Amino acid sequence: MSNHLTRLSQAGLDPLDDLFRGFFVRPVEFSNQTQAPSIKMDVKEDEKAYLVHAELPGVKKEDIHVHVEGNTVAISAEVKQEKEVKEGQRLLRSERYFGKVSRSFQVAQDIDDAQASARFNDGVLELTLPKRAAASSKRLTID
């Protein structure tokens, strides 16, 4: 067992050595890297409509696009996020994300896009998507 530990430290893979080297070299720990944000949402249904609440914090209303076609809903937005962590006058970390996020989903019934509505308030997009009346079917008589 001691031979195994000797080989690790000879190869420069001693876990304690790695721990202390990282502790003294890096003054700031980047625990979570900047990632593209995702659109978190709730979709509810009642007998007349689908109700969608989508979180889009930090996004401007004019940067949001909603597209409805049949039973498919697509939400996209231009996102600009900036975060700085300062200690006194020394900048320790600056993270930025600029890009586009999107999410699409399907519902069980077609949406009446002429009656659909959208509101954006405090970073939450609220969609009211009325269900399209079921098309009536007619049985044809064969002559």
Domain boundaries, the chain: 2-130
pLDDT of residue 34: 47
Residues above pLDDT 70, as percent of the chain: 60
Place of tokens 């989508």: 54
| CB contact at 8 A, 42 and 53 | yes
Distance CA 60, CA 78 (A): 8
Distance CA 143, CA 65 (A): 50
| CATH tag for 2-130 (out of 2.160.10.10, 3.40.50.920, 2.60.40.790, 2.40.30.10) | 2.60.40.790
The model's pLDDT over 70-127, given as tens digits with 9 standing for 90+, comes to: 999 999 998 876 666 666 667 666 666 678 889 999 999 999 999 999 999 999 999 9
41-58 burial: b if 16+ Cβ within 10 Å, else e: beeeeeeebbebebebee
